[in-house]
Each structure stands twice: as structure tokens, then as C-alpha cells.
Amino acid sequence: MTKAYAAESEHSGLAPHGIERRELRDDDVAIDILYCGVCHTDIHYVENDWGGTLYPVVPGHEIIGRVTSVGKDVKNYSEGDLVGVGCMVDSCRECSSCNQGLEQYCLNGMVPTYNGEDLHDKSITYGGYSEKIVVSDRFVVRVPEKLDAAKAAPLLCAGITTYSPLRHFGIKEGHKVGVIGMGGLGHMGVKFAKAMGAEVTIFTRSESKISEAKKQGADNVIISTDEKQMEEAAETFDFLLDTVPVQHDLNPYINCLKVDGTHILVGLLEPVDPALQAGQLVMKRRVLAGSLIGGIPETQEMLDFCAEHDIHCDVEMLDIKNINDAFKRMKKGDVKYRFVIDMDTLKQS
Amino acid sequence: MTKAYAAESEHSGLAPHGIERRELRDDDVAIDILYCGVCHTDIHYVENDWGGTLYPVVPGHEIIGRVTSVGKDVKNYSEGDLVGVGCMVDSCRECSSCNQGLEQYCLNGMVPTYNGEDLHDKSITYGGYSEKIVVSDRFVVRVPEKLDAAKAAPLLCAGITTYSPLRHFGIKEGHKVGVIGMGGLGHMGVKFAKAMGAEVTIFTRSESKISEAKKQGADNVIISTDEKQMEEAAETFDFLLDTVPVQHDLNPYINCLKVDGTHILVGLLEPVDPALQAGQLVMKRRVLAGSLIGGIPETQEMLDFCAEHDIHCDVEMLDIKNINDAFKRMKKGDVKYRFVIDMDTLKQS
């Protein structure tokens, strides 16, 4: 049995639990987990906000650890390697998306790191709030030793979710990029866009966040609740990276895009309300796009980019026994910017 | 005085009117109008549907005619040339959009062919329901003599509005393109997408239009009101060209896009209702884009493309004295696919 923290029901909160990790298959990598980031998605699954949670659920998809053993066909990893696992642990591996390294868009459905169903034995997948995990080598990435492993954990979700669209949509030097929302995703978006050479503006609702935004490296800050500031920003941005996960009015932001500008949604999964003004797209050939995490090759590229540019996530370390309090604080937005569980605290418990 | 048809108020309908055309400026081209297409926008202006109509209004922005004289600086056109004028007659000519030949997105606002204000003398612009027009050479395009001039008139609006986004978003051989709506714009979209090598599907609400859709060159037809057909089409299209000018549910169409697919709006200017499902964009990295007519260099390219590929608009010729009846028929969708006024009927009236 492997020690883990699991929720038994939507009201139970997380508590110690024993889970089974599978025997190594030929392409498997066994990982001793060092750190696991705490993503807002974890809360949604624990509390069954989206329906479909399979209890007991062991959350966690921002996993960093060291390889303890590998299956006989594994060539790229060996014992002691520092590795990461993100939001996916498998996919069909043969559709057009998988063949392009876009496993997150697998046409047959990717297998999420937790609350998913293994394609081989139909067992339920358990995430990273756990001592160990066993994952097929295709879904393991190498973490450069140069990175601070704890601060690298959230790169596996918050990092790749922002890096991928910035790369895909071609952000580069000279672009004016706005980042909407300054949480776990937003603060990573700022770091990446800056490292790609863009001039970066943070849109925030509160004046109290201006100094923090500047500390994150933003060149400018716009208070999104200030109509005058928003009007002055009209038609000045090439890209907007919108990390806000709840319904919000997109129209004032889209008005900030230049001709051919692109508004990229990475957080919003709900109906757009207030209604999107189609004329704002048509009259300026603007684009509204979405993007979901990132593929495995791109996740590796992102980690290497972070090592090269000395980029990491701002984290608050967490003892796993305080995880339920951490969830409460996250709901209030009270974390800068990501909790990361030190898995030693589980092993010693 | 130049003979024209104008509306004097929102309820008056169109009637004969005398208007002044300006004396030639150095860069002006004087055109004797042969044909003018009738666009639904003309109705909106005549009836002041969008507010802001300046009466008397002379509609018409799908103009074909022959040059009768030119200003002293005009090098590219001379008497007798077959030329066209579309939706714009001027712009600032110095902003980043104008410098890219995207005058329709002029940052200082382009001057529409009618109901606009001339940048030099502040006079109100009058459109193509008229014997003559005088336009700066930059906003005149050459019509290949190979084209049927009457059937070419609607290319100046319906044509370029569909050609431009298909080119801009890179439609090419092997792409699966869906065209939503089969009116003046939609039927041109089918012709262009086919000529660019795409496999083209028409989405229509009515089974009665299947044979007509096939006649237009569509490879396939999907009845959009048939949920089963729409579900079967899920994730199969690279591009959708949406020509519908009234509110409609975008979500079932967006569901038809592959990963990285693009839904292009060219007709809708209103709020998107029912609400756009953001998750449909995020989960498949899909794009919702808009596009407005096209720039002047691209309009020339489009006309040359039509000559090369023998593309023209399907038209019904109109005596200008029947223009008010034509408006009534257009409101019922009773035209295949564009009315074109034979301007001889004005000259002889």
C-alpha cells in the first residue's frame, strides 16, 4: 500500500488513505514523489463541483519526483532522475492529435492523472497527493536539475497552461501582451511573456495589487474596473492571455485588442456571460481562442525554457496535514501563488 | 446634376433624385456606372435600422462601370477602362492598417461608399444607385474584361467579404470547409472555397435547398436543424465560414470543428445569443474569428482570381424602378443570389 491523501465524499475533506500503485509495466516509470502543487482543479474534484468525481479521489497533477525503477522497455529514464508528471498519464497515442504531440487534445480522450480510467486495466487513476506514482514513460518529463524542484512543481499545470498558448499563438519580441488575472496561472503568464520578449501588462481589479504586479515583472498595470483606463487601452494589445476561471465580461478586454489581435481563454469553461459582442470581432478581424494545458513534448520544452530563463513558480510550501486549510485559503485567493506540498510531510506522518 | 435613386426618409422607399458629383481632384477617377449590386446593407441604411442614416441616402457599394475621365495624377486608369468600386472610397492612408492594404480596418476610420463623410470637403458620400461616381484612384479596382460585368458587381462586397477571410485564414487543398447560410455571401463562399481546393459542405436549415446547394458546387450538405446530422459532423471541419447576419446558436457549429479549427463570422454584428460555450474553444484549442469585407489590394487579387477560375456571382437583373419591390423580396430571402441593377434603366428613365 502507498500512503496518500484522499477525499471519501464531497464533504469529507482530504484525509490519509492507503492506495494501490500498479506493478511496473514494460514502459512504466515508478516515481518517488517529492513535491506536488495544489491546483484549483483539485478542489473542484474533491468537492465534486463538476459532477463525476469517483471517490476516493486522490488529487494532484503538478508532480515532481525521482525515478526509483523503470520497466524493461524504458530507455530515457533511470533510477535517480528528477522527473515530472502533469495533468495526463495516457492517451490513445495514435490519433492525429497524439501524433502531433498534442495528447491533451487526444481524439479518443486523454487519461487524466487522477479520476481517470486506466486504458489497460480500467483501474481509476490516483494523483500526486501521494508518496509514489507509476506512469508510462511517454507521459513523464525530465526536470532540469538546475530548477528548484519545489518551485517547479506547478509548472506541470499552471506553467504549461500559460506557456503553450503563448508559444502556439506566436508571442515574441515587440508584442504587447496583456495578462488578465494574477493568480497561479496569471503570474506564470507574465514571466513567460516577458521571457519571450513581450511588453507585458497585468489587468487587475484592485489598485492594491499594482506593486505586486510590478514585482512579478509586469511593465504596466491596468485597473480593469476603471473605465477610463480601459478606454485608453483600446486597440493597443496584440494578445490577451485570460486566466480568469469564472464568468466575466470579455467585451471590454476584446476592445483592447488591435486589428488581428487575439484573446486567449485558458481558464473559462462556462458560457460567455455577458454576451460576446460579435461586432467587436468582425470589425477588427479579432480572434477569440481557447487553449488547454499543453502536450508532452511542449511540456518538456517549457521546463527546459524555465531552466534557461531561470523561471519558476512563486510557491508557499505546505505540510500535507494542512491541505484542507489550504483549500479554504485558495477559495479566498489567499495564496501567492501556488501551494506546494512537501511530500516528506506525508512520508513522516 | 447626376441621376440617382435615393431614400428621403426611413419610410419613403427609393425614388429618383438629383445629386451632385464632385469635380475631379488630381487623383480622382470618374466612372460611368454600368451595374450596381443590391446588398442587404443597403436596406439597413435606407430604413435606418442601425441609426445614423443621413438622408437623402443613395445606397449601392457593388459598383461596376467604365472610366470616363481621370485627374492629372492618375496613372493606372484611363478612359474606357472597366473598373469597380466596393464598400470604401477613402481612408487615412497612413495608419498601420492602411499601410498593410487593410483599409477596411483603417485606425482612423474608412470612408464608406455611401452615408460617409468625404475627408476633404466634408460632403456626404453617395453610392452606386446612380449614373456616375467619382472616386480616388486608390479605391478603384480593375475589372478583368474576361468577367461578365453584371455578374461581377456583387464581387465588390459579397465576393470580397468571403474571399478575404478564406485567404487570410489559409484555406487550401485538403481542408474541410463548411459554409453556413446560402445567400449572397454563402454561395460566393462555396465557389471560392472550392476554387481554393477545399472540400466544401453547406449547412442549411431546409432539405429543400439540398439540390440548389449541390448546384452551387458543394460536395456535401448538412441540414443544421437535424441534430443527428450535426452530431455526426462533430470534430470534422477545419474551417466554418458563417455568413448568417442574424443571431443564431454558434455552439452546435463550433462542435463541428476539429482541434485547432476556426469559425469565421462575416455576417453577425450582434451579441452572441445563445451564449457562446467557452469550454468548446478551450477543450479543442478552437478559434472564433471575425472578418470585415477586405482591403483594396486583396479586392484586386480577388477579381483576378475570379477571372482565372471563371467565378462570378449568380444574379437576377433588375430595372431600377423595381428597387423597392426587390428590397421586399430580399427580406423574404427571395433572390438567387443577388439583385444587380442594370444602370441603363436609370439612364433611360
CATH number at residue A127: 3.90.180.10
Please list every residue in chain A whose beta carbon sits closer than 8 Å to the beta carbon of residue B107.
235, 259
Q: How far is B260 from chain A (nearest CA, A)?
A: 9
**Residue A187 gets which letter from DSSP?**
H
Mutate to test the interface with A, among B281, B291, B293 (most CBs of A within 10 A): B281
B58 falls in which pLDDT band (50, 70, 90)? Answer: very high
* Mean pLDDT in residue range B96-104: 98
> Is the pLDDT at A321 greater than 90, yes or no?
yes
- Verify that B145 and B264 share a domain, yes or no: no
Domain boundary, last residue among A290, A305, A325 = A290
Residue A16 sits in the same domain as residue A138: yes
B172 and B78, same domain (yes or no)? no
Number of domains in chain B: 2
Residues of A with Cβ-Cβ distance to B268 under 8 angstroms: 278-279, 282
Its sign, for the CA torsion B190, B191, B192, B195, is positive
CB pairs under 8 A between A and B: 122
Q: Are residues A118 and A27 in the same domain?
A: yes
Is the domain of A150 the same as that of A23? yes
Domain match, A9 and A22 both: yes
DSSP character at residue B309: H
Which pTM does this prediction carry?
0.96
Domain span at residue B328? 2-157+294-303+313-347
Give A-chain residues touching B280 at CB under 8 angstroms.
290
In this structure, is residue B59 part of a structural domain? yes
A143 & A255 share domain: no
**Which residue among A272, A277, A292 places its CB closest to the CB of B285?**
A292
| Of A102, A278, A283, Cβ closest to residue B271 | A278
Measured between alpha carbons, how far is B280 from B43 in angstroms, rounded to an integer? 35
- Kindly state the average pLDDT of the residues A105-117: 98
Structural domain includes residue B87: yes
Do residues B33 and B145 both lie within one domain? yes
- On whether both A146 and A285 belong to a single domain, the answer is no
| pLDDT surpasses 90 at B112 | yes
Cell numbers standing for residue B338: 443577388
With respect to residue B209, please indicate whether it lies within any of the assigned structural domains.
yes
Q: How far is A282 from chain B (nearest CA, A)?
A: 4
The answer to whether the peptide bond before residue A56 is cis (omega within 30 degrees of 0) is yes
Element (H, E) at A316: strand A315-318
Question: Using a CB-CB distance cutoff of 8 angstroms, which residues of chain B are in contact with residue A102?
Answer: 259, 285
- Is residue B308 included in any domain, yes or no? no
Q: Is residue B321 one of the residues assigned to a domain? A: yes
pLDDT at A209: 86
B66 domain residue, yes or no: yes
Confidence at residue B208, expressed as pLDDT on a 0 to 100 scale:
84
Chain A residues with beta carbon closer than 8 angstroms to that of B276: 271-272, 275-276
Tell whether B335 is covered by a domain: yes
Query: Residue B193 maps to which CATH number?
Result: 3.40.50.720
For the segment B104-126, the average pLDDT, to the nearest whole number, is 98
Q: How confident is the model at residue A223 (pLDDT cuts 50, 70, 90)?
A: very high
pLDDT at A206: 84
Q: Which residues contact B188 (CB under 8 A, 6 or more apart)?
A: B154, B155, B158, B159, B161, B162, B163, B313, B337
**Whole-number percent of chain B with pLDDT over 70:** 100
Residues A209 and A130 in one domain: no
Question: Burial, B267: exposed, middle or buried (Cβ in 10 Å; 0-12, 13-18, 19+)?
Answer: buried
Confidence of residue B207 (pLDDT cuts 50, 70, 90): confident
| A143, A317, B107 from A84: Cα distances, Å | 6, 18, 47
* B113 and B181 part of one domain: no
Q: Answer yes or no: do B290 and A269 touch at CB < 8 A.
A: no
Per residue in B26-40, pLDDT (tens digit) is 999 999 999 999 999
Given an 8 Å threshold on Cβ–Cβ distance, is B278 in contact with A271? yes
Are residues B283 and B143 both part of a single domain?
A: no
Q: Do A275 and B278 touch (CB under 8 A)?
A: no
